[in-house]
Amino acid sequence: MFSNITDKIRLLFRKDKEPYLCFYRILGFYPHNISIYQQALLHKSSSIKAGKGRLLNNERLEFLGDAILDAVVADIVYKRFEGKREGFLTNTRSKIVQRETLNHIGKQIGLDKLIKYTTKQSSHNSYMCGNAFEALIGAIYLDRGYGACKMFMEERIIKQYLNLEKISRKEVNFKSKLIEWSQKNKFEISFELLEQSHDEDQNPVFESQILVENIAAGKGKGYSKKESQQEAAHETLNKIKNDPQFIDIIFAAKAEREKAENPTNTEEEKHPAPIDELKESFIQEETISEKYEDHERIIAEAEAAAFLEKETTGTDN
C-alpha cells in the first residue's frame, strides 16, 4: 500500500514494536505518530488522562473521521458509478457510512479487541466499533493525509469487506425505520404529498414531506410516491440524529399534545431529557452536539487536499 521500507528499518531499532505491528496488520502501513492511532481506540469510559489531568478519548477523532469518511466514500462512489443520478450516489454513500455497516467493519478488522472501555459501557453501546472506526479514519487523515484515507478504504476495506454493486442495489427502508422509531418513542408522524410535477422528459416527479408532531421535518423527491417518502424519511432520520434544536422542538410539541390528551397528569411527572432519551432509544450511543458543526468545512478541506495531491502527482509524472 505504501513504501514501508524506511518504516521497517526504523522499527528494528524500537523497543515497542508490537503496537506498530498491530496497526500495520490493520492499516497495511506503519504509523508515523502512533499515539494518534492509540487515542482512536480510547472510548470516553476508559478514563485515561493526558497532561494536566485532561481526559483523553476518541471523540474528537471520531468527529473528524466522520467528515473525512463522508468525503472519501463520496469520491469513491462518484467514480465507481459513472453517470448515476445524485440520489443514487447519496443513497449508496449513506449505506456505506451508516452505523451498522461501520460497526460491522470495525469488528471484522478486529477493533473490538483493541478498544479500551469499561465493561459497563460495552453492554449498551452497540456502535462502539463503528465510532472507533471513524476515529481511526481521523487518525489516518492527521498522520498521512486524505490520499492515505482513500487508499485505505479502497484497498483494505472495500476490496476485502464490501461489495459496492450489491450495496448500491440494497434497499434501505428508511420509512419503516422512522415508523418504528415513532412507535417506540410515542411520536405522531404523518406523510404528506406536497407536489406532483414533471421533469424535462415529462416523467412524473413527486415531492413529499414528513411531519413529526405536526412539525415540518424532512422533504424528499422521487419518481414515485414511495421513493419521495423514502427520501423524506431519510432526511427526517438525519435530523433526529444530528439536529438538537429539532429534537427539542418535537419533544416540546409532543409534551403539549400529551398534556392536552391527559389534562389530569400532575406536574410532578418526570419526563426524560429529549436528547438523552433519543440517544438511548434511537442510536444508543453518546452523541456530542457540536460533532457536526464544522462538517462541511472539513469535507471541503479534504476534497481540496485530494485535488492538490492529484495535481502534485501529475506534475511529478
Per the annotation, where are the binding residues for Mg(2+)? Answer: 62, 131, 134
Residue 48 phi/psi, 5° resolution? -85, 135
If you ran DSSP here, which 8-state letter would residue 2 be given?
A: -
Nearest Cα to Cα of residue 104 among 123, 132, 77, 124: 132
Query: Which residues are known binding-site members?
Result: 62, 131, 134
Cα(260)–Cα(262) distance, integer angstroms:
6
Grid-cell match 494536566, residue found: 52
Catalytic site residue from 75, 134, 143, 213: 134
Nine cell digits for residue 264:
389530569
Cα(15)–Cα(128) distance, integer angstroms:
30
Cα(114)–Cα(127) distance, integer angstroms:
14
Cα(293)–Cα(162) distance, integer angstroms:
29
**Sheet strands (E) in 139-214:** 189-198, 204-212
Q: Is 280 a catalytic residue?
A: no
Q: Is 243 a catalytic residue?
A: no
Nearest Cα to Cα of residue 196 among 183, 205, 208: 205
Identify the helix (H) or strand (E) that includes residue 56: strand 55-56
**If DSSP codes are grouped into helix, strand and coil, which group holds residue 215?**
strand
Residue 201 phi/psi, 5° resolution? -95, 15
Catalytic site residue from 59, 66, 75, 231: 66
Query: Catalytic positions, please?
Result: 66, 134
